[in-house]
Amino acid sequence: MEKNVEQYHLFRDGRIKMPEHLAPRREVRGRLFGNRLMEALTRSRIEPPIVMHLLISGALFTYGIVSLGIVWWTAVIVAFSGCLFWSFAEYNVHRFLYHTETNSRPLYRIQHNAHGIHHQHPVDPRRLAMPPVPGLLFSGLFFLLFWLVSPTYVFVFFPGFMLGYLTYITMHYAQHRYKTPRYGPWKKLWQHHFVHHYVDPYSCYGVSTRLWDHVFGTTAKVKAGPAVPGS
């Protein structure tokens, strides 16, 4: 809204260190809804969505090969393209939906409920992955969109897409809950995400990969040091 847009410009001008609506707060947990059921639907451990999507994706991939007769190596190539497409979608949603400052109140609500609450409480372990119910709704919508493009290959493309998503939520959880690994590429990825949360929320949009930040020039210089603080 108006205040957020103003904060964005103040941040870009170097007059504040972090926009207020994206600044980490001292409280580990933040609440979205007063209603207990609605609040419960917005929170989840990391394991349920991983198991749910693995089972669904595995069943769809098997159906594509066994029942539809898709050649296995073709299925692998199509699945890999789905995984790559996820990384591209991850980058664009994060950059253009979650971090586009606007005076639109409906868009602000979407941004805050889906992502802003995470910036305010970045180490809350139950807001690091989309819970099962909304996860089913959104994954079903993506499956329908892909099915409209290819009713056959969707059964191997979609599992690849969801494998990319599972990589994303697993890496995201680890980046917020565990110390920086010593392994070079992972260390850089941890630090990349640290910059997004604690230095410049308008850069370093990739979570599972830094690829698209390099392609579109949205990386930031990261010095060796601590990664995202964990619990």
The reply to whether 205 falls in a domain is no
Q: 231 in a domain, yes or no? A: no
pTM, to two decimals = 0.90
Report the pLDDT value the prediction gives residue 106, as an integer from 0 to 100.
87
Low-confidence ranges of the chain (pLDDT < 50): 224-231
- pLDDT score recorded for residue 1: 63
Q: How many domains does the chain have?
A: 1
On whether residue 60 sits in a domain, the answer given is: yes
SS3 string of the chain? CHHHHHHHHHHHCCCCCCCHHHCCCCCCCCCCCCCHHHHHHCCCCCHHHHHHHHHHHHHHHHHHHHCCCCCHHHHHHHHHHHHHHHHHHHHHHHHHHCCCCCCCHHHHHHHHHHHHHHHHCCCCHHHCCCCHHHHHHHHHHHHHHHHHHCCCCHHHHHHHHHHHHHHHHHHHHHHHHCCCCCCHHHHHHHHHHHHHHHCCCCCCCCCCCCHHHHHHCCCCCCCCCCCCCCC
53 belongs to a structural domain: yes
Q: Does the residue 57 lie in any domain?
A: yes
32 is a domain residue: no
Domain coverage including residue 80:
2-8+41-181
Give residue 153's pLDDT.
97
pLDDT at position 26 is 86
**What pLDDT score was predicted for residue 192?**
95
Give a yes or no: residue 154 inside a domain: yes
